[in-house]
Each structure stands twice: as structure tokens, then as C-alpha cells.
Amino acid sequence: MNIFLDVLEWVVLAVAVMLILAGLIFIRQRASAKAGITYGVIFSNLCYLLAMVAILVGDYSPFHLLWLFPASWAAGFFTLIPPFSYLANFLARLYGHIVSVGLRGERGKPEDAAP
């Protein structure tokens, strides 16, 4: 039974890593296409990442991710409720800029533009 739980913990960690990476890829694709993305999505992904770091750094069971990830998704709604929205939107904006490092911004010249 102990081996089963150990394997299940690794499965939970693997799924959590895939969800975080999928969120990062989604944010980068939307930013690259200059399409709209809400602060709630970005803040939720930040909370996913912070939950994963807390589990890996602390001495906590990976099974805590089974309630931390839905709680992180719900935390995305804090971007809509003042006064929480001020801090949540600031953190989402900061995280969005960090995740989007390396993408061409509006100030960058297009590849085919003449000098």
C-alpha cells in the first residue's frame, strides 16, 4: 500500500507540473499573439506555481495540491474584488511580464521592417 501511495504522489506532482507548464505556454502564446488575457488567469497560474514551490520546499505531502490547485483557481477571482484586486492585479501583471520575457513587445520592430 505504501508503494501505491508513493507512486500516486509522483503522479500528482507530474500532473501539477504539466498544468503549470500548460498555463505558462498559454500565457506566452496569448501575449505573443497580442490577444487578450485576464489577470485572473495569470494570477491563478501564479498561485499554482507558488503552491508547487511550497510543496517542494516545505515538508508537505503532494496530496495537498489536490485542494491547493482548486483554491488557486478560485483565488483568480480576487482580481475582480477590491481591495484585493489591487495586490492581485499587480502580482499578475508582474508575473505576466516575467513569463513573457523574450517576446517582442510593441516597441520592437517587426522582422521585415526597413531600418
pLDDT, position 71: 94
Written as one letter, the residue type at 93 is R
Kindly provide the residue ranges of all beta strands, DSSP E only, lying in 23-79, ordered along the sequence: none
pLDDT one digit per residue (tens) for the chain, 115 residues:
699 999 999 999 999 999 999 999 999 999 888 888 899 999 999 999 999 999 999 989 999 999 999 999 999 888 888 888 899 999 999 999 999 888 876 554 444 444 5
pLDDT, position 74: 92
pLDDT, position 36: 84
pLDDT, position 106: 55
Q: How far is 14 from 114, CA to CA, in rounded Å?
A: 46
* Nearest alpha-carbon partner for 79 in 95, 98, 65: 95
How far does Cα 35 stand from its chain's mean position?
17
pLDDT, position 6: 92
pLDDT, position 79: 85
Secondary structure of the chain: what % helix, strand, coil (to 5)?
75, 0, 25
